[in-house]
Structure 1
Amino acid sequence: MKSIAKISNFASKYIGIIIIVLSIIAFCFPPTFSWATNYTSLLLGVAMFGMGLTIKLDDFKIVFTRPKELLIGCFAQFTIMPLVAFCLAKAFHLSPDLAIGVILVGCCPGGTASNVITYIADGDTALSVGMTIFSTLLAPFITPILVYLLGGSWVEVSLLAMILSVVKVVLLPVLGGVLIYQLFPSFVEKIRDILPLISVVAIVLLISGIVGSNAAKIVACGAIVFVVVVLHNICGLLLGLSFAKIFNLNYKKATAVAIEVGMQNSGLAISLATSNFAANPLATLPGAIFSVWHNISGSVFASIRRRGAKNANEYIEVKEREFN
């Protein structure tokens, strides 16, 4: 069990690198992972169930003890990224397939990778976790409405089908995990250290599968999608940071909000594209590329913010010594 726990810790810490390496393998040797696309919804459901197993009821207290930061963060989450996605799709005159794929990414809640990146950045990890939980629970209602309003310009969107999809692959697995934890807390605590490995394996297979099955399409139109994805992600990070500063959030909280806004649950975007937009095969491509890219940009952003946090702490310590 200790060996598995070490592997789980390693996989969680270096999930970005793992995704990049396996995505490259999937791109070069598509059959290696393309089979995973047959289980897209299942893999995302497993990842969300794993997330639910790590949530304690005490984690929900942040909703009541820190409502200001959560509301600011979630408002930014569901406004900045959807609107930036819509503007980019219009500005680059994307095809309906790619446009709905970009909008799906923008309308999704934050992903669990943001919690790891926030921790690395020395940000407010508790706030990041709280935002992920809160935005994920809101997603079954907000994500379909946003996709319906913004994506309807390009393709026909079934609001009810979208709601049912998000409930099936996100809400039910998360709540199921929370319920299992409440019913069997001692057992879940015994395996807690290996739970992240479940989510990591599911997410890595999901992303690698999409990359493998879309290898030829990536070659054909990957450049434009990559540019849009990079701009989308960077705008999310910078605008999220600016939004947090407008509301005078401190350095660590602002870091958490920026990362949470910029790093979407692109696995959900892929799943929704697969299950709701089968007539638009390229709709999964933006989510797959975003999944790879945001781990790279997130790690760089975390490194910059971590150095800034260190300098800020040193400045505070100097001022405190001067005051005393």
Structure 2
Amino acid sequence: MNTIKSLSKFLTKYFTFFVILVALLAIFIPGPGTTLATTKVGNLSAVSILLMIVLFGMGITLTPNDFKRVARNPLQVILGTIAHYIIMPFIAFLLVHLFGLTGAAAVGVILVGSAPSGTSSNVMSFLSGGDVALDVSIGLLSTLLAPVMIPTLLKLLAGKWVNVPFSSMFFSAFQIVVIPIVLGIIVHTIFKEHVQKVIEIMPLISQVAILVIILAVLSANSKTILAVSTLILVPVIILHNLLGYLLGYGFSKLMKMDTPQQKAITFEVGMQDSALASTLAISFFEPASAIAAVMFSVWHNISGSVLASLWKNHTEKAPD
């Protein structure tokens, strides 16, 4: 078990490096990832199952106390979730029109903007000295709302480029997102301390699963990822993420939150669940619409790591 913990800490510390490495492998050796991207188990894709494992891991770490914590401080959690679902879709919509994106590219950017908070934000908040409890609470609420928010925002903001199958997307997102989380909570509630060993290895399993999802989605688009028409997404993704941080931070300052809360809100707003966005893109739209999500996944792990490090160093150097 100590070996697994050490491996998990190592992977967490160098996760950005592994994301970049997997991205390069997907582009230059796409065969294995492409096979995985097209594999199905019943009516679910292999990528969907991997994401369900990640979210089950999230659920199994939750206890009734986590929901009590949300109930004790609902305003900050609700405000953070509202900020996330207003700021990121709004930025996505503006950037799509500013850069003249259409079709799959536009749908992909808006789909990323409509996704819930990314799981990586919890790690970044912890590393920067942010309010991790608030971070996790916002992530949980935004994820549970995803089956409704994603198709609603897509229909509103991307309806002119693509037909959004609202009911199908709702039930798919519910199946992929809510059911695994609820099952995880049930397992934890029933078995309690007996699941501790499982909880200890879930971060490692989740990180590996996310890397494999990136490999699969990027491999499926390896022929177009370096095309000139695709490279226009690079500045769009960078701006989307950085403006999310900036406006999330500005919102938390406006709400007069303390410094740890400001850090949590910043990461919760600016970092997206790109794995969910890419999974839904592959399931419902053109494969090319998943490219923005994969690019976002690579970039926000880089920018999040840098911002967390800068914040941490600034805090350590600050006078008592």
Q: TM-score, normalised by structure 2?
A: 0.94
The separation in 1 between residues aligned to 2:316 and 2:112, in whole angstroms, is 32
Work out which of the residue numbers 171, 182, 185 in structure 2 matches 1:178: 185
Cα deviation code 1:109-161 (max 9, x no counterpart): 11111000111111111111111111111112222211111110211111111
Work out which of the residue numbers 243, 256, 259 in structure 2 matches 1:248: 256
> Which residue is equivalent to 2:284?
276
- 2:13 equivalent to 1:13: yes
Preserved contact between residue 249 and residue 266 of structure 2 (Cα < 8 Å): yes
Whichever residue aligns with residue 31 of structure 1, its letter is: G
The CA deviation at 1:12 is 2.9
> Which residue is equivalent to 1:300?
306
Whichever residue aligns with residue 244 of structure 1, its letter is: S
The separation in 2 between residues aligned to 1:135 and 1:13, in whole angstroms, is 26
Q: What is the DSSP-based 3-state SS (H/G/I as helix, E as strand, rest coil) of the residue aligned with 1:215?
A: coil
Work out which of the residue numbers 221, 233, 246 in structure 2 matches 1:225: 233
Work out which of the residue numbers 148, 165, 188 in structure 1 matches 2:195: 188
Q: What is the DSSP-based 3-state SS (H/G/I as helix, E as strand, rest coil) of the residue aligned with 1:260?
A: helix
Aligned ranges for residues 129-208 of structure 1 at < 5 Å?
A: 129-208=136-215
Preserved contact between residue 252 and residue 309 of structure 1 (Cα < 8 Å): no
Q: TM-score, normalised by structure 1?
A: 0.93
The CA deviation at 1:66 is 1.6
Q: What is the DSSP-based 3-state SS (H/G/I as helix, E as strand, rest coil) of the residue aligned with 1:207?
A: helix
Preserved contact between residue 221 and residue 287 of structure 2 (Cα < 8 Å): no
Whichever residue aligns with residue 33 of structure 2, its letter is: F
The separation in 1 between residues aligned to 2:317 and 2:261, in whole angstroms, is 16
The CA deviation at 1:191 is 2.6
> Which residue is equivalent to 2:35?
35
Aligned residues: 312
Change (3 A) 1:187 1:13: farther
Q: What is the DSSP-based 3-state SS (H/G/I as helix, E as strand, rest coil) of the residue aligned with 2:226?
A: helix
The separation in 1 between residues aligned to 2:193 and 2:245, in whole angstroms, is 38
The CA deviation at 1:311 is 4.6
Which stretch of structure 1 is more off in the superposition, 60-69 or 296-305?
60-69
- 2:316 equivalent to 1:310: yes
The separation in 2 between residues aligned to 1:13 and 1:56, in whole angstroms, is 26
Cα deviation code 1:17-75 (max 9, x no counterpart): 21111111221211142223131111111111111111122111221122221112101
Q: What is the DSSP-based 3-state SS (H/G/I as helix, E as strand, rest coil) of the residue aligned with 1:219?
A: coil
Preserved contact between residue 100 and residue 151 of structure 1 (Cα < 8 Å): yes
The separation in 2 between residues aligned to 1:176 and 1:191, in whole angstroms, is 14
The separation in 1 between residues aligned to 2:189 and 2:282, in whole angstroms, is 33
The separation in 2 between residues aligned to 1:310 and 1:249, in whole angstroms, is 20
- 2:78 equivalent to 1:75: no
- 2:68 equivalent to 1:61: yes
The CA deviation at 1:265 is 0.2
Q: What is the DSSP-based 3-state SS (H/G/I as helix, E as strand, rest coil) of the residue aligned with 1:184?
A: helix
Work out which of the residue numbers 44, 56, 59 in structure 1 matches 2:51: 44
> Which residue is equivalent to 1:91?
98
Identity of aligned residues (%): 39
- 2:121 equivalent to 1:114: yes
Q: What is the DSSP-based 3-state SS (H/G/I as helix, E as strand, rest coil) of the residue aligned with 2:223?
A: helix
Which stretch of structure 1 is more off in the superposition, 252-261 or 58-67?
58-67
Preserved contact between residue 8 and residue 193 of structure 1 (Cα < 8 Å): no
Cα deviation code 1:179-229 (max 9, x no counterpart): 111111222112321111111111110011111221111111332011111
The separation in 2 between residues aligned to 1:197 and 1:307, in whole angstroms, is 26
> Which residue is equivalent to 1:2?
2
